[in-house]
Structure 1
Amino acid sequence: MNCLRLFILLIVAVLAGCATNNTQNPYASAKKTYTAAETSRTIDLTHPPRDMWDRIRRGFAIPNLHSELTERWTDYYASHPESVLLMSQRAGKYLYYIVDELDRRGLPTELALLPFVESAYNPTAYSRAHASGLWQFIPSTGKHYNLEQDWWRDQRRDPIASTNAALDYLSYLYDFQGDWYLALASYNWGEGSVKRAMEKNTKAGQAADYASLNMPDETRNYVPKLQAIKNIIANPKKFGITLPEVSNTPYFTTVQKRDFDIDIEVAAKLAEMSVEEFKSLNASFNRPIILAEHKPTLLLPTNRVDIFNANLQAYQGRLSSWDTYRSKKGESYAAIAKQHGISLGRLRAVNGLSKKQSRAVAQTLLVPAKGARGSIQLASLEVPDADTAPTRGKTDGKKDVVVLQRKANVRTHTVKGGDTLFSLAKRYNTSVNELRKLNNLKNDKLAKGKRLRVPGTSIRG
């Protein structure tokens, strides 16, 4: 009996020692895969993900970080629900692509939350250290990962290019460090800085794990911030947070631009989007014109692609109101502006010139296109009830006005009392989903008098 009791006490002592070691150093098991159950919310894995948030929770695989800083940042984000909502709404445009890429590479889905910390999911975010984009690449690291940065565009702000570069970099850092906390610290502080801090600790006979390193405050708070966001996404109700609906479907689609220059404003109008929304997907373009010679790929919401293509086919106006001008060294900007019928302020704004610059170097400038009398405007993006060929509207002598009409088999329907998406789908030989996509509807509610686009020309009685 005494031997048995001694054996039991020995086992308890060993288990207690393991638990104590894990509490003191939560970073020790860097390569252990943690399940979603550890995030304090039960997830039903017998059904497909309900939405993107559910899908992200299922892929959590980085050890949870329990620390005072984590608690502090969790409380901070929970006390600012409006900021979390804004960041989450922005994230909705990019999450499907990012998580799809993470799944393809076998990486933890926590990394999809990193832009919350880096840029608040703002693709145009720019830091004092000259870091830019969702993933906040500095110029040198961006170039190392083949992100093109020139006068015309900056791929650090391209959602696809920057995401691929960021995941390449994070994968490299994890392979280099063998620990996600050290990899994330390296992403923020630089792999060289982290390596030197580890070597310094090792020489001093101290532990060289993440928790033991002497790091700048920004890096010290970096992983706790990510863990705080993870805590909220894992169980938003616990913190009184309501996340926006983000469907587990692609938000955007790539569209290969054809052989023509096009103004960003015109492209947005052809896609029937606001310029702000268009730029949120195509933030890499630095100028108001997208050049054909760059053979760029446009990103459009999936429900805007058919509309963009139909409008582009029917459109007969100028696609760009800008030309390029190669200036001579020492040429006056004021003289260039006067020569091309544009104000000096407008010339500077379009070309990113400061007020301190008065004379040009040998450079390419954007100037108004010859024969263009101001920006082209679409007088109407409404679809006529009858199928008609595209026609040009009247010119008022001040601006070229183009009336856009579709010649594709599309028409409009004015909602009447009693109309439902189901009844209209049946009437126009289509589906409710198609009507939602064509009209960018978020729900099934229809307002009387609203004009809806309906596909097809045949109508059931």
Structure 2
Amino acid sequence: MKYILLFFSLLTSPSLFSNSFEFPSTIENAEGVTLELFDDPVPGNEETIHYIEGDKNLWERIQNGFAIKDIDNRRVKNYIKWYQSRPEYVERMVERSSRYLFHVVEEVEKRNMPMEIALLPMIESAYNPVAKSRQKAVGVWQFIPSTGKLFGLEQDWWRDKRRNIIDSTNAALDYLEQLHNLFGSWELALAAYNAGEGRVKRAILRNKKRKKPTDYYSLRLPKETKNYVPKLLAVKKIIQDPERFQLYIKDIPDKPYFQVVNVPDEMDTHIAAELADIPYEEFQLLNAEHNRPLMKAHFGAQDILLPVDSVDTFLKNLEDHKDPLTNWITYTPIKGEKVNHVAKKFNIDIKELIKINQLRSNQTLKNKIILIPASPDVLKKYPINTDNLYSYSTIITHKIKPGDTLGGIARKYKISIKDLMEFNELKSTKIIVGKYIDIPQ
């Protein structure tokens, strides 16, 4: 998705995929990240964790809608092996997807599209709504800015609709439908979603001139795009039979997780979470489009998403709430005003002002909106954390070699030891030669 521009992709294509293709020891995933592969069975997964069957299980509904032809080639097998070696990663991905998957399934079903499409965010972003790639693709569907705008996904100082699960899903399905109508094949539509329509068109024309087949598996496409459909089919196979691959896929109820709720035109994200009586992180995951702690509608009221079982609590608490719904004021600096002037004017620490508004130190604030705490207590009660929640859409896999240390690996990939340990769920800095460690990017 990172390179798509509807009807304007002008990129080139590398090597041809054929039956004689020899799979390398490393592959590149759908986000363009090098993944090392294993020749031996994955160690440490000897105990089979059984899939929990529910009376109304969303996974059953998803499997009943699968329609893309299965393949069983080496690319698919190697991606299965990659996921097998990361059971915690799979569990986190499925856990995140549980908030959004019912909605996506409903929309895919309405359009009579293959249900594999509902799994596409798993290979695009691991169903992370705040995922951002190095190509500036954002959200579970990984729209780049230009394609997002082309499909009506608003992006401004206040919000980024590429992170809105409802709007971005509609946009992604619209785009995929257009590509399917153009190419007549879901495999080719997926390839174009990943690499761009122009690149796939040129690959088809090249094969036609040479009187070669023009299906997805016969085209000369970039490595990332050749791996794209196999990676999706690997996820599909895991969903169909997680027990076979010694992975745990949690049961997801076949019912809505969230509900759309209308709220006033200005409201704090923290206050909304408190009124709903849900953790702030949960509110952020459902309302990831908001860039600021203050939600501000352009015209009239606005909508938020809340867990279905929290809506009544929210509405009752909102009705009873007599205090202001916002702890922030907006300020438009006068011409030539700098960060330190504004900090002094409102008696706020300059570091906090920079952090809240993501400014550069003492820059001139031309045509800027500045968010100011309404009182000194605001930042004490609601500390601002500008770090995204699990905001990694790409992962590099590093094989530990003799002489490697965790600190050395952290320095090489420009990540803190703490974050590296947390991401890999390590209890100590000791590492074992020959094992693999994942580095979020």
> TM (normalized to structure 2)?
0.72
Is the 2:261–2:306 Cα contact (8 Å) retained in structure 1? yes
Question: What corresponds to 1:120 in structure 2?
Answer: 126
Asked if residue 360 in structure 1 is aligned to residue 370 in structure 2, the reply is no
Q: Residue 321 of structure 1 contacts residue 374 of structure 1 at CA under 8 Å; is this kept in 2? A: no
| Equivalent residue pairs, number | 331
Question: Matches of 1:331 and 1:276 in 2, distance apart?
Answer: 35
CA distance in 2: counterparts of 1:201 and 1:363, whole angstroms? 52
Q: Matched residue of 2:243: which SS?
A: helix
Q: 2:250 aligns with which of 244, 251, 262?
A: 244
User: Unpaired segments of 5 or more residues in structure 2?
Assistant: 1-17, 20-53, 382-441
Counterpart for residue 215 of structure 1: 221
Instruction: Name the structure 2 match of 1:375.
Output: 378
Instruction: State the 1:192 CA deviation.
Output: 1.0
Equivalent pair of 2:373/2:379 in contact (CA under 8 Å): no
Q: Determine if the alignment matches structure 1 residue 289 to structure 2 residue 308.
A: no
> Any idea what the Cα deviations from partners look like across 1:419-454, whole Å, max 9, x if unmatched?
xxxxxxxxxxxxxxxxxxxxxxxxxxxxxxxxxxxx
d(CA) in 2 for partners of 1:326 and 1:376?
A: 21
Inter-partner Cα distance in structure 1 for 2:317 and 2:80: 47
The letter of the residue matching 1:334 is: N
Alpha-carbon deviation of 1:352?
A: 2.0
- 1:278 aligned to 266, 278, 283, which one? 283
Q: Cα deviation per residue 1:229-266 (whole Å; 9 max; x = unaligned)?
A: 0000011111111211211110000001124x111111
Structure-to-structure mapping, 1:119-268, within 5 angstroms? 119-259=125-265, 261-268=266-273
Aligned ranges for residues 406-445 of structure 1 at < 5 Å? none
My pick for the range that moved more, 204-213 or 135-144, is: 204-213
Q: Which amino acid aligns with 2:281?
A: E
Please give the residue correspondences for 1:100-111 in structure 2 after superposition, counting only pairs within 5 Å: 100-111=106-117
Larger RCO, structure (CA 8 Å, separation 6 or more): 2
Deviations 1:207-237 (A, max 9, x none): 2221122222211111111000000001111
Which one of 314, 321, 335 corresponds to residue 320 of structure 2?
314
Determine the structure 2 residue equivalent to 1:432: none
1:83 matched to 2:86: no
Offset from partner CA, 1:163-205 (integer Å, 9 cap, x none): 0110111111111110111100100001111111211222233
Does the 8 Å contact 2:195/2:225 carry over to 1?
A: yes
State whether residues 115 and 121 of structure 1, in contact with CA within 8 Å, keep that contact through their aligned partners in structure 2.
yes
State how far apart, in whole Å, the 2-side matches of 1:319 and 1:341 are: 22
Q: Partner of 1:65: helix, strand, or coil?
A: coil
Code of the residue aligned with 1:347 in structure 2: it is: L
TM-score in terms of structure 1 length: 0.69
SS state at 2:370 partner: strand
Partner of 1:61: 67
Distance 1:354 1:121 in 2: 31
Q: What pairs with 1:34-45 in structure 2 (closer than 5 Å)?
A: none
Q: How far apart are 1:98 and its partner, in Å?
A: 0.5
Instruction: Tell me by how many angstroms 1:373 deviates.
Output: 3.9
* CA root-mean-square deviation: 2.1
Paired with 2:360 and 2:175, the residues of 1 have a C-alpha distance of 34
What is residue 97 of structure 1 aligned with on the other side?
103
CA contact (8 A) 1:124 1:132 kept: yes
- One-letter code aligned to 2:289: S
Which of 62-71 and 117-126 deviates more?
62-71
Deviation of the 1:76 alpha carbon: 1.3
Partner Cα separation in structure 2 for residue 258 and residue 150 of structure 1: 20
State the identity as a percent.
44
> Mind listing any 5+ residue stretches in structure 1 that lack a counterpart?
1-22, 25-47, 379-461
SS of the residue aligned with 2:348?
A: coil
Q: For 1:65 and 1:49, locate their aligned partners in 2 and report how far apart those are by CA, in whole Å.
A: 30
Equivalents in 1 of 2:200, 2:350: separation in Å? 48
Does structure 2 retain, via aligned residues, the 8 Å contact 1:331–1:359? yes
8 Å contact kept, 2:80–2:235: yes
1:337 deviation in Å? Answer: 1.2
